[in-house]
Homo-oligomer: A and B are copies of this chain.
């Protein structure tokens, strides 16, 4: 009696996962974290209007959500000045990235990203059997020239760029991203992950014609809108590509509360402005705490700050472990040279009090 026969691809995939959740660490430690600043969630919460909309929708949870997500797509389209045919909604940017990779990149296809960039994208590329090519960051930013050169060299079907970047918090000006499009090799798609764009300086988002077939933009309600636990992201792209999602996506995957919550969140731009102000203040305080400990914080256009621990990855990992052991959940980049940094999400004043208390202890324990 034998088990099922996985595909050769599924058989060969590693059991590694992109991220371990803080709850797993809490269970291992036997206690809750004092401050949760590792997953770039929004400690300033969602709009109260979104909370009310979700609570109201809970009573209607017996109904499937609209599989066309008509109202939400229409609102997103209006917000961006495009049509609903330019918008796809999915289970977070993670879910949309999975569907996108599935549609475009399979065995033998080349995909380009940066060493140390978003690992969940790499997870999907591996999961569909495509070949991942990586170029280094340059001055702690993803390097458009290197990405383009590699894309031309390998004939990439997908080129991933996060702007602003995770895990470093760095960013490129709109004009830099705009200049990438004509430089892409023929038939390559720029996967522009704008998860953090709501926290970036005004004008960071490039101006791209809605029908431009060379780029897909990915946005989320998980960061600025504070709805990571709702799982709603969206893609903006030319209608041909958006329509292709319908061929494979989980059509009833977006539930009723997810659609209602995202719709209400989008309508409350005042709340987003409030969050931006809070995030800005938190970035400043993280920078000040880092400086008080002799560390340099990198400039950030996101809701987190990468703090350079001043030595190698081994030292930064020791600092990270010291923070975790003292009840502060943070994360850090996975690869050198980025891994000389720890990454701290914008927190409330009480969260950052924990950082202020714990960071010097963790540095001392690491021999800093």
A358 CA to B257 CA, complexed, in Å? 31
What residues of chain B lie closer than 8 Å to A43, measured between beta carbons? 62
What residues of chain B lie closer than 8 Å to A60, measured between beta carbons? 229
* Residues A261 and B61 in contact, CB atoms below 8 Å apart: yes
A26 CB to closest chain B CB, in angstroms? 9
* Residues B157 and A4 in contact, CB atoms below 8 Å apart: yes
Chain B binder among A91-99, A283-291, A334-342: A91-99
- How many copies of this kind of chain does the complex include? 2
Asked if A51 lies at the interface with its beta carbon under 8 angstroms from chain B, I say yes
What residues of chain B lie closer than 8 Å to A66, measured between beta carbons? 21, 23-24
A7 CA to B103 CA, complexed, in Å? 6
Asked if A318 lies at the interface with its beta carbon under 8 angstroms from chain B, I say no
Interface size for A (C-beta < 8 A) is 93
In A179-229, the 8 Å CB interface with B consists of 186-189, 212-214, 216, 222, 226-229
In A1-47, the 8 Å CB interface with B consists of 1-7, 9-10, 13-15, 17-21, 23-24, 27, 36, 39, 41-46
Asked if A240 lies at the interface with its beta carbon under 8 angstroms from chain B, I say yes
* Residues B51 and A63 in contact, CB atoms below 8 Å apart: no
A223 CA to B36 CA, complexed, in Å? 36
Q: Which of B63, B251, B253 contacts A36 (CB 8 A)?
A: B63
Q: Is the interface of A mostly helix, strand, loop or mixed?
A: loop
Asked if A230 lies at the interface with its beta carbon under 8 angstroms from chain B, I say yes
A21 CA to B62 CA, complexed, in Å? 14
Chain B binder among A144-152, A165-173, A241-249, A349-357: A241-249
A96 closest partner in B (C-beta)? B250
In A244-280, the 8 Å CB interface with B consists of 244, 246-248, 250-258, 261
* Residues A256 and B229 in contact, CB atoms below 8 Å apart: yes
A315 CA to B243 CA, complexed, in Å? 33
* Residues A187 and B4 in contact, CB atoms below 8 Å apart: yes
A6 CA to B6 CA, complexed, in Å? 24
Q: Which of B9, B14, B62, B95 contacts A250 (CB 8 A)?
A: B95
* Residues B252 and A94 in contact, CB atoms below 8 Å apart: yes
- Fill in one digit per residue for A41-78: 1 if any B CB lies within 8 Å of its CB, else 0: 11111100011001101111111111110100000000
Asked if A104 lies at the interface with its beta carbon under 8 angstroms from chain B, I say yes
Known contacts A4-B157, A213-B1; A255 and B230 CB within 8 A of each other: yes
Please give 15 more A-B residue pairs, beta carbons under 8 A apart, in addition to A4-B213, A64-B228, A229-B255. Answer: A1-B214, A6-B104, A15-B246, A17-B251, A19-B251, A19-B252, A20-B67, A24-B67, A27-B70, A41-B63, A46-B61, A50-B61, A64-B222, A94-B250, A127-B247
Which 5 residue pairs are nearest across A and B when measured between Cβ atoms?
A: A229-B256, A3-B213, A4-B189, A54-B58, A55-B55
Identify the A interface with B (CB < 8 A).
Answer: 1-7, 9-10, 13-15, 17-21, 23-24, 27, 36, 39, 41-46, 50-51, 54-55, 57-68, 70, 91-92, 94-95, 98, 102-106, 109, 120, 127, 157-158, 186-189, 212-214, 216, 222, 226-231, 238, 240-241, 243-244, 246-248, 250-258, 261
A-B residue pairs in contact (CB < 8 Å), sample of 21: A4-B187, A7-B103, A7-B104, A13-B247, A15-B247, A24-B66, A24-B67, A50-B58, A50-B61, A51-B58, A54-B55, A54-B257, A58-B58, A61-B226, A61-B227, A92-B253, A94-B250, A94-B251, A98-B250, A230-B257, A231-B254
